[in-house]
Amino acid sequence: MAKRKIAILTDSTAYLPDELLAEYDIHVIPLIVNWSGESYRDNVDISPETFYERLTIEKELPTTSQPSAGQFKEFFEKLSKDYEGIAAILLSSDLSGTVASALAAKEMMKDYPIEVVDSRVTTMALGLCALEAAKAADSGKGIKEIASVARRVGEAQKVMFIVDTLEFLHKGGRIGGAQRFLGSVLAIKPLLQLLDGKIQPLESVRTKKKAISTMLTILEEDMAGKDNIQVTVFHGVADDEAQMVHDQIAAAISPKTLILAKLSPVIGVHTGPGTIGISYYAE
């Protein structure tokens, strides 16, 4: 197959499985995990397995940072040798400065066509934006239309997730409206959502099992009677629970697409181990 004209670029928080990156010719720019004076490229220098294992024994919590404008420019220049334009589909600008870095780099590229898309989502919800953009690129769509497809998929998706503790979101400054769950005298498992690019509370539940059940009930109610349902399940070292959620979704609503993926280390810095979530929409 001939090389398509428009390159699709996303960032590492999408954590698309390698086979999908290869199949859809999607390029990934890594975010950065900063830990004990060292910097690691997300899922390049540090894998989820290594990250979570280290997280359980290290006293110092890591931090994260976005690629610099210079790093984006280098990435853009490399892609420009093989493509006529780039659609960069990136995580919510309310969660990271990644979009700002990409826009600064775009200015340095002068007249070379680049569309920077603030998806307003992250994790595999961002992955679905990139996948649909890649399909649009494969069908010969122009760069503006490809960017429009990515934005539309971002806007259409609902993202819900459960964290074992709010400690990581709080310390990382990403807690958003879920702040109101902090300091509760009850042992709760907060069900959170990504709403308009920000983390917001959805419901507080006493147990993780109940939180998962509530999340699946919302999914089934939202998707009742709809066709061409796209679903992703994502997790941070919660393999068994994630597989259970995956299998229950497959049985309950028979989605057209159902992808199971891990959370990248950069996302894990802010959510911690044991996180499990879903994103979904109907075409």
Class level of CATH domain 6-31+66-155:
alpha beta
Q: How many CB atoms are closer than 10 A to CB 215?
A: 23
Question: What whole-number distance in Å separates Cα of residue 201 and Cα of residue 147?
Answer: 29
**Average pLDDT for 107-119:** 97
Domain boundaries, the chain: 6-31+66-155, 158-282
How many percent of the chain have pLDDT more than 70?
92
Shortest CA distance to 26 belongs to which of 154, 141, 116, 137? 137
Structure tokens at 148: 């429009």
The answer on pLDDT for 56 being more than 90 is no
Question: What's the order of all strands across the beta sheet hosting 189-195?
Answer: 198-205, 189-195, 158-162, 276-282, 229-235, 257-262
pLDDT at 78: 97
The model's pLDDT over 124-176, given as tens digits with 9 standing for 90+, comes to: 999 999 999 999 999 999 999 999 999 999 999 999 999 887 766 655 444 44
Written as six digits, the tokens of 35 are: 């830990």
| Tokens 């899922």, located at residue | 43
How far is residue 107's CA from residue 104's CA, in Å, rounded to a whole number? 5
Q: Average pLDDT over the chain, rounded to whole?
A: 91
Residues 221 and 227 sit within 8 Å (Cβ to Cβ): no
Reported as a single tens digit per residue, the pLDDT across 192-229 is: 999 999 888 898 888 899 999 999 999 999 999 999 99
The pLDDT value given to residue 200: 87
Dihedral sign, Cα of residue 253, residue 254, residue 260, residue 266? negative
d(CA 248, CA 252): 6
Summarize the confidence of residues 35-61 as an average pLDDT: 93
pLDDT at 172 (0 to 100): 47
The residue with tokens 């971002």 is 154
Structure letter (DSSP) for residue 203: E
pLDDT of residue 180 exceeding 70, the answer is: no
Indicate the helix (H) or strand (E) that contains 1: none
Helix, strand, coil shares, percent, the chain, to 5: 40, 25, 30
* φ, ψ for residue 31, nearest 5 deg: -80, 180
CATH 3.20.20.80 is held by the domain 158-282: no
Q: What is the pLDDT of residues 66-110, one digit of tens each?
A: 999 999 999 999 999 999 999 999 999 999 999 999 999 999 999
